[in-house]
Each structure stands twice: as C-alpha cells, then as structure tokens.
Structure 1
C-alpha cells in the first residue's frame, strides 16, 4: 500500500493528500495542548470523539445551508474534506464572558453578554495568536472587508445553530472558535467553514451545574477530558445513551 503524503501536521490533527484533486484526509490525533502548547498530554480516545462530533456538527450545518469543508467520515479517526485556502484568522464568537475576555474586560466568568461578540485572532503560534482588529486585517491583506462581512455572517449562523443544538441537551454554548477558508469556482470565490467544530474549539458548560465539558477540563485539571467529551457526545446522540465513559468509543453510524 502506498504511503500517504503528509501535507500538514498541527497540534490536534494531521492533513494528508486526498484520493482526488481538491480533497484532503483529516486525521484527528489524541494529543491535547493548552496555553499555546506549553501544556501537553495524550488523551486516549479524544481524536475519535472529536472526529465524530465534528462530523455531526458539520453535517448539521450542511442541512441548514451553511457551507463547510466536510465530505464524509472515512473511519474512526479520519474524514474526507475539501481542500481550502485557510484565511489566517481564528474567528471567535462569545455569548458569555470566559477565558481571555473575562481577563481583558474584568468580567466575571459566565456573565451573559449583551449580544454575541465576534473577535478575530491572527493564527500565529509564535506570537500567541494575538487579538487583531478589522483594521489590522484589511491593512495587512489577510482578508478584504467583504471577506470580513461574510465571515461574521457565517460565524453568527454557526452560533445560532450550535446554541440551539446545545440548549436542547442542557448545555450552554459559552464561546467557540472556527476557521474559514476560500474555495474557488472558476473565478468566483466562496468562503466556507473549515478545520473542525468540537469540544476542543468550544466552551461548553452544563446549564444546571456549570460543569465544564470542554478543553478547560484539561487546561485547569478539572478531571478526565475523555469523560467530558463523552458526555457531550452521549447527550447529542452520537454515543449510546447508556455510555458514561468511552476510552475507546463505540460510535453510532
């Protein structure tokens, strides 16, 4: 069997050349990182859960007409995706104060924001993914003003979908980040949601108890990360309802 060509390896995923032009294979690793990779660990089963959860969310976005890179899940750890030109920005949507926003604004964690706030960070690990303004983005040519308008629109549509989905299973969507990429149809450019949507990229709190069900469990040493992600998957119906811990999850097709 021919060895696949690795295109890129990040902290949580590896990208391989896809079977057809314009496609990639996205592999989800068990690696967990925090604080710009200063804290690292291997969490058995994490990649399997994130693969399945990201598939679940991306399929849901497709059903409501939000374009994204997902094509199909290949196996427990891999999915086939469209190759896109990633815009070098993280797009963050915040519904409640947490993390760096609480620190910057002096707000207690969990404070409801007047409306969803969209922020942009430059994707650059060496610089610590700094917060940037729309003026920075257009001045340095990372995206046009039209791109920014489209990115905000996409992010808010994702927020509406994810907030409702989580609310239905007793989870508060505190914030999340997505990446957005460009695809080209002849000379026409479109922006689509890319990368992943998973508990790695969201803050998810139980509505009644405030229990954290996201990567803050790892960041703050609050317990077993796989247990937290398994609980999210179980509530959403991705795992059987009787599963409470899934080191090596059995997933529903």
Structure 2
C-alpha cells in the first residue's frame, strides 16, 4: 500500500491526505495527555473508543441540522472528514462549575451555573490556551461578529443535544469544548463543527454517584481511563451492554 501523506499530527489524532480532493483521513491515537502535554501515557483502545464515540455524536448533530466535518467512519481508528479551515479557538460551553473556571472564581466543583456559559480560548499550547474575549477575536480577525454570533448559537445547540443525550443515559454534561471550521461552497464560507467530540473534550459525571467518566480520570489519577470511556460507550449503545473494557474493545459495526 502506498505511504500516505501526513498532513498534521496532534496530541491525540493524526491527519492524512484523503482519497478525494478536499478530504482528510483522521486517525485516533491511543495517546493520553494532560496539562498541555506535561502528563502523557498510552491507553490501549482509547483511540478506538474515541473514534466510535465521535462518530456517534457527529452523526447525531448532522441529524438535527448542525453541520460537521464528518463524512463517514472508515475503520476502527479512522474517519473520512472534510478539509476545513480551523478557526484558532476552543469554544467552551459550561453548564456547571469545574476545572479552570472553578479555580478562577473560587467556586465549588459541580455548582450549577445560572445558564450555559460560552467561553473562548486561543489555541496555542505554548501559551496555555489563554481565555480571550470576543473583542480580541474580532479585532485580530480570527472571526467576524457574524461568525461569533453563529458560533455561539451553534455551540448552544450542540449543548442542548449533548445534554439531552447524556441525561438520557444517566450522565451529567458538566462542560465541553469544540472546534469550529470553515468550509467553502464556491465563494461562500460555512461554519461546521470540526475536530472531535469525545470524553477527551467533555466533562461527564454519573448523575447518581458523581463518578467522573472523562479525561479527568487520567488528569487526577482516579482509575483506568479506558474503563471510563468504555462505560460511556456502553451506555450510549456504541458497545454491547455485556462488554467490559478489553485491551482491544469489541465494537458494534
């Protein structure tokens, strides 16, 4: 098989040139990182789980009219996606205080917020992904005012979808982050949800017990990360209900 052209390698994924113009192949790695790469490990099976979970959420968003870069899953670790121009922001939606927000404001973790709050951070690991206000984003030309209005609206729609799906399987969506990209239809740009949606970029707590089922398990040494992700996949029906984590999870085709 011909060697594929590497486009980009990040902490958790690799992008290869796709089989058709305007496409990439997105490969999910087993690498786990925290603290902008300060803590690292390899969690066998993590990439397989995140591939299937991200597919599940991207397809669900598409079904309710929220555009994404996802085209189709290719195999256990890879997806075919549209090539997009990524806006250099992490779009964070918070429903409950946790993580950096709780630390910044001295709030108790898990405290309910009066409404979902949308924040933005500038994507730069060397700078620690600093929070930025809309004024900066517009002034530096990363996105227009219309883009920002559309991004906030899209992020809140994603939150409604994700919160409902998770609540239905006994999981509280504490917060999450997404990335937004532009695709061009002739000369007109269109915003789409890009990157991935998985437990790597969400905080997920069991409604009854408060057990964490997201990357905080790795960040805070709370147990086996693959077991936590497997539990999320099992509840969502991505895994059969009688499956527990194995080094190479058995997944429904």
Q: TM-score, normalised by structure 2?
A: 0.99
CA distance in 2, matches of 1:166, 1:217: 18
Aligned counterpart, 2:121: 121
CA distance in 1, matches of 2:115, 2:105: 15
Aligned counterpart, 1:230: 230
Answer whether contact 1:17 1:24 (CA < 8 A) is retained: yes
CA distance in 2, matches of 1:214, 1:119: 20
Aligned counterpart, 2:179: 179
CA distance in 1, matches of 2:214, 2:65: 26
Aligned counterpart, 1:71: 71
CA distance in 1, matches of 2:186, 2:239: 41
Q: Does 1:192 align with 2:192?
A: yes
Q: Does 1:31 align with 2:31?
A: yes
Moved more, 135-144 or 25-34: 135-144
For 1:198-213, list aligned pairs within 5 A.
198-213=198-213
SS in 2 for 1:113: strand
CA distance in 2, matches of 1:164, 1:247: 30
For 1:76-95, list aligned pairs within 5 A.
76-95=76-95
Shift of 1:244: 2.2
SS in 1 for 2:244: coil
Q: Does 1:3 align with 2:27?
A: no
Residues paired across the two proteins, number: 253
SS in 2 for 1:36: coil
Shift of 1:246: 3.0
CA distance in 2, matches of 1:85, 1:246: 37
CA distance in 2, matches of 1:141, 1:149: 15
Deviation readout 1:57-88 (Å, 9 max, x if unpaired): 00000110000000000000000000000000
CA distance in 2, matches of 1:228, 1:67: 28
Aligned counterpart, 1:148: 148
List structure 1 runs of 4+ shifted beyond 3 angstroms: none
CA distance in 1, matches of 2:169, 2:77: 25
Deviation readout 1:204-223 (Å, 9 max, x if unpaired): 00000000000000000000
Deviation readout 1:185-207 (Å, 9 max, x if unpaired): 11111000000000000000000
SS in 2 for 1:131: coil
Answer whether contact 1:230 1:246 (CA < 8 A) is retained: no
Aligned counterpart, 1:218: 218
CA distance in 2, matches of 1:180, 1:148: 11
Aligned counterpart, 2:132: 132
Q: Does 1:56 align with 2:64?
A: no
CA distance in 2, matches of 1:183, 1:104: 35
Q: Does 1:104 align with 2:113?
A: no
